[in-house]
Structure 1
Amino acid sequence: MSGASDRVFVARLAQTAVFDPLGDQVGRVRDVVVVFRATVRQPPRVVGLVVEVPGRRRVFVPMTRVMSIDSGQVITTGLVNMRRFEQRNAETLILAEMLDRRVTLSEDEAAATIEDVAIAQARNKDWEISKLFVRRRVSDGTSRLGRLRRRGETLQVDWRDVVHDEPSEHDQGAAQLIAAYQDNKAADLADAVHAMPSKRRLEVADELDDERLADVIEELPQDDQIEILSALGIDRAADVLEEMQPDDAADLLGYLPDAQAEHLLSFMEPEDAKDVRTLLAYDDDTAGGLMTTEPVILPPEATIAEALAHVRRSELAPALAAAVYVCRPPLEPPTGTFLGLVHIQEMLRHPPHEAVGALIDSEVEPLSAEAHISEVTRLLAAYDLVSVPVTDEHDRLVGVVTVDDVLDQMLPDDWRTSNDDHDYGGDRG
């Protein structure tokens, strides 16, 4: 077995760049695939890496094509099969399925949780799990060894030094998996969640806070969204829907039976539920069905400095941060009279103390909520916009349609999980 310096901890390996021999980046590591041996005491064999290549496609790279794993990079032979990775029954994903798994330490029968997994090359050049980084969960107060060790102590142990509990007997936590994705976009975590078995998917959803779970659900395919939302308790499901963008929440509730959707709406905060109900009243292929009710809305006397402070908010989607919408009070949809929009690029050309009302783009005409998606796309294309205003018959702003809302509607339902070249053949090493 390789020495300690040759061990690679998988939680740290996640997101590592993968290069070919010429130094061109192939993708990034998303997980490590292992196969358990016939005898459970034998360390599982590492058979390959799950690598995300451009286009958010996840492919399988056999360990036989991995030339080296160093700090901050993986070097491959350059031969990457582009067939989409599909997990086989005999395979286990370390990040998705092993982190947070409960085990029992053979030495003193103390319960522990796996927080990281180290892999290394054996003498026969095969890669296998070499060490487990675990955290003790319960001290054994009946023995001297137990009294000396504190609850929460971390230690490295060999695979053979633990008894692996039956996963079906306990809920498996997801704290370490979530920590591995904490610096990634919600779409990256959503990709990982989509690839998980149903049970693990729900465990991860249970561990995420409401805001992060809302962001992840917005990026998942419809079936996964329904599965997760239906598995949450009614109170938490309502809380998560409140954290979602109103248009995304409306889309999700639109997939559900009317009675279930109404039940969830009744548990939401009245103001949040009102926005969602408004959107549910429109057909999916209209501006009203596509719009969000949370753009940046300011009065005409607001300064550029104020406007820029609003669009800097980290929770604001890029398409919504590209412009502010100028209206007479009230400033919540439906607003007072809609005066026009001001592009962020235009604001950057003027002094911070200048009023946004003086910079209104008068060429962009608002759409009605009943306008068909074809009218929305024409307006976006004609004026090179990333968002368009939607007003009612009284010239009040009721929402904004962004380009990503239009793309979501126009692309196939399974666009998040399929590509045109998904039938390419390949081997699994």
Structure 2
Amino acid sequence: MTGTPGRVFISHLSAVAVFDPGGDQVGRLRDVVVAMRTAGQPPRVLGLVVEVTTRRRIFLPMTRVTSVETGEVITTGLVNLRRFEQRPTETLVLAEMLDRRVTLTETGELVTVLDVAMSAGRGRDWFISKLFVQKQKPGGGSALRRRRGATLTVDWHAVTGFERPEDQQGAANLLATFEQLRPADLANVLHNLSPKRRAEVASALDDDRLADVLEELPEDDQVEILGQLREERAADVLEAMDPDDAADLISELPEETAERLLDLMEPDEAEDVRRLLTYSDDTAGGMMTTEPIVVEPDATIAEVLAMVRNPDLSPALAGQVYVTRPPTETPTGKYLGVVHFQRLLRDPPFTLVGAVVDTDLQPLRPDTPLAEVAGFLAAYNLVAAPVVDEDDHLLGAVTVDDVLDHLLPQDWREGSVHGDARVAAPTAVRSRVHGT
């Protein structure tokens, strides 16, 4: 595999083996799935098409890829074996981008794409960064006899020709326009679309993006959108949501539908949601997330800060770390205390968190009512609070944003405060929304 560290030429990935963390082969890579973007921005890599041993081709999100190295790809081990189905807004690199004729922006020359490179960005994000192209050497004769010209590597923005037709007014164009919106703002736009166009856009969003948007929508919109997805995909989207938000949404579904979706989810993800469904939604147990940052007391501050840097964590969850005996998956071993983010910044990186843990803050019980949870956060100026059972096992954490969701009126997402979010959207977005 060629390229500088963090950059991979995709043709070199064709047919490489894909392994789980234990070294067992999952399958072989057959293609890379990307999403085109507007304004010359490089396409984002969504995931990989992997052919498993049954010759079925499945989709492996980049969020479940831990390493891309010479001759192999390593995954987290969580692989969904449902058959891959390409969506209208997705492009396959090997199948659709290689051998494509594009134009060099600077000179206007036509070139042929021989290879495409993807580069690692922040977190686990990857983007298309470079194109390896070949010029057509001038001269007569048939195409078969015509000599090839020079090859060169150029940046993505140095060529044109991959764009979709400008007159295409489908969900793909809307998605490209909406890409820079925050989930809350995109949720507001979706809410104001016609039901048909809302379904088109929701269907074209990738699972993680749709999950983020669903968490910001009113419950009736959530139920409507989820009900229009294939059940297999609906289960994938629920897995991508925060467990507490997924539980809230599932609780609004008919019992038979909810049970089918839970059965289709990964067992570990479904177990967290089922546990949350046992609590009333206006209690600490019903509002908590089951995925806070949890470490053992012998972890170093340097190790914990690396976990806090995870860009997928909300600011509230990244604000403090919970220290327990093993296991650290909820429900954990005995809860020992909490370490606040500011304390992590004040002490040397080699310090063990067990030496700086705050044991004075009393945790909440899962049956603590909403009013008491809100008062607890306000009294101690907290953005999150631990929730433990009667045996002092950490069950999860309640964050201030979830408390606010329950304290505000049910229709607050449709009120003037949230509605003003569309002012921040580009003019093109507003005109297209009102035109649908």
Superposed pair shares fold, TM > 0.5: yes
Query: For the Cα contact (< 8 Å) 1:389–1:400, is it kept in 2?
Result: yes
- Which residue does the alignment assign to 1:401? 398
Q: Give secondary structure in 1 for the equivalent of 2:285.
A: helix
Q: Give secondary structure in 2 for the equivalent of 1:398.
A: strand
Q: Give secondary structure in 1 for the equivalent of 2:382.
A: coil
d(CA) in 2 for partners of 1:201, 1:241: 18
d(CA) in 1 for partners of 2:183, 2:163: 31
Pairing of 1:310-325 with structure 2 (within 5 A): 310-325=307-322
Pairing of 1:22-421 with structure 2 (within 5 A): 173-419=170-416
d(CA) in 1 for partners of 2:418, 2:327: 50
d(CA) in 2 for partners of 1:385, 1:155: 50
Offset from partner CA, 1:282-324 (integer Å, 9 cap, x none): 0011110010000000001111111111111111011000000
Relative to structure 1, the CA distance from residue 364 to residue 237 in structure 2 (aligned partners, 3 Å threshold; closer, same or farther) is same
Offset from partner CA, 1:90-116 (integer Å, 9 cap, x none): xxxxxxxxxx9xxxxxxxxxxxxxxxx
Query: For the Cα contact (< 8 Å) 2:183–2:213, is it kept in 1?
Result: yes
Question: Shift of residue 393 of structure 1?
Answer: 1.0
What runs of 5+ residues in structure 1 fail to find an aligned partner? 1-10, 13-99, 101-150, 157-161, 165-171, 423-427
Offset from partner CA, 1:179-223 (integer Å, 9 cap, x none): 222233111211111110000000001110101110111111111
Query: For the Cα contact (< 8 Å) 2:295–2:324, is it kept in 1?
Result: yes
Q: Give secondary structure in 1 for the equivalent of 2:346.
A: coil
Query: For the Cα contact (< 8 Å) 1:326–1:342, is it kept in 2?
Result: yes
- Which residue does the alignment assign to 1:119? none
Relative to structure 1, the CA distance from residue 185 to residue 420 in structure 2 (aligned partners, 3 Å threshold; closer, same or farther) is closer
Question: Shift of residue 363 of structure 1?
Answer: 2.1
Name which one, 1 or 2, has greater alpha-carbon Rg: 1
d(CA) in 1 for partners of 2:180, 2:321: 29
d(CA) in 2 for partners of 1:231, 1:337: 43
Question: Shift of residue 237 of structure 1?
Answer: 0.2
d(CA) in 2 for partners of 1:410, 1:153: 45
Q: Give secondary structure in 2 for the equivalent of 1:293.
A: coil
Question: Shift of residue 176 of structure 1?
Answer: 2.1
Question: Shift of residue 153 of structure 1?
Answer: 7.6
What runs of 5+ residues in structure 2 fail to find an aligned partner? 1-37, 40-88, 90-160, 420-433
Relative to structure 1, the CA distance from residue 183 to residue 421 in structure 2 (aligned partners, 3 Å threshold; closer, same or farther) is closer
d(CA) in 2 for partners of 1:297, 1:319: 14
Relative to structure 1, the CA distance from residue 246 to residue 262 in structure 2 (aligned partners, 3 Å threshold; closer, same or farther) is same
d(CA) in 1 for partners of 2:323, 2:170: 47
Question: Shift of residue 420 of structure 1?
Answer: 8.0
Relative to structure 1, the CA distance from residue 155 to residue 233 in structure 2 (aligned partners, 3 Å threshold; closer, same or farther) is closer
d(CA) in 2 for partners of 1:199, 1:421: 23
Higher mean Cα deviation, 410-419 or 337-346? 410-419
Q: Give secondary structure in 1 for the equivalent of 2:189.
A: helix
- Which residue does the alignment assign to 2:135? none
Query: For the Cα contact (< 8 Å) 2:384–2:400, is it kept in 1?
Result: yes
Higher mean Cα deviation, 360-369 or 397-406? 360-369
Relative to structure 1, the CA distance from residue 392 to residue 211 in structure 2 (aligned partners, 3 Å threshold; closer, same or farther) is same
Question: Shift of residue 352 of structure 1?
Answer: 0.8
d(CA) in 2 for partners of 1:319, 1:327: 19
Question: What letter is aligned with 1:194?
Answer: H
Question: Shift of residue 154 of structure 1?
Answer: 6.7
Relative to structure 1, the CA distance from residue 153 to residue 305 in structure 2 (aligned partners, 3 Å threshold; closer, same or farther) is closer
Question: What letter is aligned with 2:335?
Answer: F
Q: Give secondary structure in 2 for the equivalent of 1:367.
A: coil
Query: For the Cα contact (< 8 Å) 1:173–1:207, is it kept in 2?
Result: no
Relative to structure 1, the CA distance from residue 154 to residue 416 in structure 2 (aligned partners, 3 Å threshold; closer, same or farther) is closer
Relative to structure 1, the CA distance from residue 375 to residue 263 in structure 2 (aligned partners, 3 Å threshold; closer, same or farther) is same
CA RMSD of aligned residues (A): 2.4
Query: For the Cα contact (< 8 Å) 1:186–1:215, is it kept in 2?
Result: yes
Query: For the Cα contact (< 8 Å) 2:412–2:418, is it kept in 1?
Result: no
Question: What letter is aligned with 2:326?
Answer: P
Relative to structure 1, the CA distance from residue 420 to residue 201 in structure 2 (aligned partners, 3 Å threshold; closer, same or farther) is closer
d(CA) in 1 for partners of 2:393, 2:353: 18
TM-score by length of 2: 0.58
Question: After the TM superposition, which segments of 4 or more aligned residues of structure 1 sit over 3 Å from their partners?
Answer: 151-156
Offset from partner CA, 1:337-356 (integer Å, 9 cap, x none): 00001000111111111111
d(CA) in 2 for partners of 1:260, 1:273: 14
